[in-house]
Amino acid sequence: MSLPKSDRTRATEQRYQNDIEDWKTKSLIDVPILAKLSENWHLKYNEYPYDEKWEESLMYVYYKACGWEDIPVEDIIALHNIKIMLKTIYDKIAENGHTKASVKNVPHGHLLRGEK
């Protein structure tokens, strides 16, 4: 199987693709919460980290499945404020868009630190 280009190591990307094929991935909603960033935004471990280029790869995840356009303005404002704070901790914040994300139904972004 040819692997897609990603910021994951070949081994992590292979595990991710195998888990997708075997229906072993879980919804980002079901990944345990490491910390609450606000009422509706949570810090979560990335089970398929961007470990090719980064030492640390976490995620901020909205509390429910929906489109970005369905998020109430107060939660978008909360995320904006969270990202201002997170920019002092993380080297890069990569927000997933509608077409780019492999997980399209749960708004989330990647928090990356420690460029290799």
Q: Report pLDDT digits (tens) over 47-96.
A: 999 999 999 999 999 999 999 999 999 999 999 999 999 999 999 998 87
pTM for this predicted structure: 0.89
Q: Is the dihedral angle over the CA atoms 69, 81, 50, 63 positive or is it negative?
A: negative
Residue 45 to residue 33: CA distance in whole angstroms: 8
The pLDDT tens digits of the residues spanning 80-92 come to 999 999 999 999 9
Fold for 27-115, please state it.
HIT family, subunit A (3.30.428)
Q: At residue 40, does pLDDT exceed 90?
A: yes
| Length of the chain (residues) | 116
Residues 32 and 45 sit within 8 Å (Cβ to Cβ): yes
